[in-house]
Amino acid sequence: MAEIMNVGTKLILHTSILPLKQSDERKRMTPEQKKYANITDTDIQDQIKGLTPSGEAQIFKIIRNNDEKYSKNGNGIFFNLSKIKQKTRKQIIDFLLYCKNYESKLKNEEQNRNEYKKFLTEEEE
């Protein structure tokens, strides 16, 4: 648990170029598999870079809980995204989708609040 508390670190990913899936393989995929197959390592890396320190800590927690290999030093936490288990990859993607959805909801709520404030201010005048 002490490792997660260090929120000042940055997660750094090592990605490798993976061959595109053949069309025959895609035909045999379930809809859920296709959903996750469309997300590239680069997409995941970009999303992780945009997370808050607590979000990065959650990603590290997923990696650690799934017994993935990682290294840690003064520059951050390192893991190879192309070598993690499919289960771990799915959990990371699910967390990133949750964060994106939550952020979108917050923005919508903020816009609604601002509209109400404008409306109330206009009525007072």
Tens place of pLDDT per residue across the chain (125 aa) = 223 333 344 454 444 434 444 455 556 766 666 666 678 888 888 888 888 899 999 999 999 999 999 998 888 888 888 899 989 999 999 999 899 888 889 999 999 999 988 888 877 76
Helix (H, G, I), strand (E, B) or coil at 72: strand
CA–CA distance from 47 to each of 12, 17, 30, 117 (Å)?
12, 18, 25, 32
